[in-house]
A and B are shown apart, each in its own frame.
Chain A
Amino acid sequence: MIMKPNHKVGIIGWGGYIPKYRLPVENISRIWGKDAERYKEGLMINEKAVAGPDEDTTTIAIEAAQNALKRAQINPKDIGAVFVGSESKPYAVKPTGTIVAEALGATPNLLAADLEFACKAGTEGLQCCMGLVSSGMIKYGLAIGADVAQGAPGDDLEFAAASGGAAFLISRDNEDCVATIEASYSYVTDTPDFWRRAEKPFPQHGEAFTGKPAYFHHIESAARNLMAELDKKPSDFKYAVFHQPNGKFPIRVAKTLGFTTAQIAPGLLVSNIGNTYSAAVPLGLSAVLDIAAPGDEILVVSYGSGAGSDAFYITVKDAIEEKRDRCLKIKEYILRRQQVGYKCYIKWRRHIIGQPR
């Protein structure tokens, strides 16, 4: 069902964060005796962003949120809700949102909650904020998608599972907003294509089952239904951002839905930074906003295993021009790059038995 707020809501600030370190596909394939080209050509991933030893989902969420706040230039005390969507919470029990809120100076009079829905927990936060803001229950809402994604050593996931985060401050639509979120559409079913059981360090997945009945079915359904409800067609959009577990899936889903490569290229970051899970679509949208012009229309569709998709129809506004340069852009984070080796990566992820933690 289409979700359209009674009072229009907009994005008043956005920001992302990508760690400095990169693990090239070759550094992983060499260890496991796999063919790097298969991953580079087949999955279109060259390297992935790796969190430093002192980084985790919380620290990533904080920097992304700080960037969003720099662009919004609002009083943090006016933030009424913080949602952190992630599947790599540093604590199993203890909220991430409270730490983020404290770091921003938004505490104590606000709602804070952590969301989990595999890779789409970040966009759920956007929908929560839309409702709370539109209804007038809160003034501003902060939605963050952040992950230090897990992939078991040697598993195909390891080639892609990456770290990053992005944050959006949601407001009633006004002239300070950089974009209006016109409508959203969620489509969910019980489809176990990828999961992680409690207290297990790494997720399991259904290999090919993650494709047609999972990723493609949900994204296509959410996108088509949203466009149908709004009477929109792919050519109406300047940009489209789809969930990007690899490079191949979003390109194929774009083609199926009738979008061109030019429409998806600016928000397709996976080749350079990997799959940042809950942050993948939020980071893609951030990268698009970094370059978008007033009047541009954007389609955003996330996907979370288990399974579901959230689609959004966003139109860019004038304020984007003056807010764009108030913090580091996604491109700058991508260019800030230091390559690391597999052993360093494994050590930082604390995977070596008996190592100091």
Chain B
Amino acid sequence: MSDLRVPKLWREIPQHYRLEASKCLSCGRIYFPPKTICNNCKSKNLEKTALPRKGVIETFTIIRNAPSKYELYAPYAIAIVKLENDVKILAQITDCEPAKLQIGMPVEAVIRRLYDDGENGVIHYGFKFRPVF
């Protein structure tokens, strides 16, 4: 419905392009997107860390009734991916036929067009995942 807010997504580029997360220096918990306070131990001592780019599908769906501005891609898959360090991330699964998806499937991060704000708008890029080949 509303047009893309450019600063809102520009700010997320480190996460959307490079999967930057934060790690609690007290208890080791990793947050994606990054947090500046640890929900687990309440420490405010967190540092930047990059997530691994591979994982397995924990659960998935195939969106057939796509939200507006995503109709071009329908049907498309969305999954919760459990990364190699057990951090979970929600992402579209691209370059995969819906019938081939399954829980446990190994996937890897790629950068794709995430959102295209019409012919005159900004193109927002970000991570998706695809089957490892």
Contacts and interface: CB of A to CB of B under 8 A. Distances in A.
Direct interface between A and B, CB < 8 A: yes
Contacts of A52: 94-95, 112
A347 interface: yes
How large, as a class, is the contact surface on chain A? 20 to 34
Nearest to B95: A20
Given A58-B125, A102-B17, A357-B118, A63 B110 contact: yes
Contacts of B125: 58-59, 62, 99, 103
B25 interface: no
A356 B72 contact: yes
B89 to A, nearest CB: 17
B17 A103 contact: yes
A52 B111 CA distance: 12
Interface string B96-133: 01000000000000111110101100010100100001
A53 B123 contact: no
B18 A356 contact: no
Contacts of B128: 54
Contacts of A355: 72
B13 to A, nearest CB: 6
How large, as a class, is the contact surface on chain B? 20 to 34
Contact of A350 (B13, B17, B72): B72
Contacts of A58: 123, 125
B17 A332 contact: no
Majority secondary structure of chain A interface residues (helix, strand, loop or mixed): loop
A59 B113 contact: yes
A91 B116 CA distance: 12
A56 interface: yes
A140 to B, nearest CB: 18
Contacts of B97: 338
Contacts of B72: 53, 347-348, 350, 355-357
B123 A90 contact: yes
Given A53-B73, A54-B94, A90-B123, 9 more contacts: A20-B95, A53-B72, A54-B128, A59-B112, A62-B111, A332-B133, A338-B95, A348-B72, A356-B72
B64 interface: no
B112 A55 contact: yes
Interface string A329-357: 00010001010000000011010000111
Contacts of A350: 72
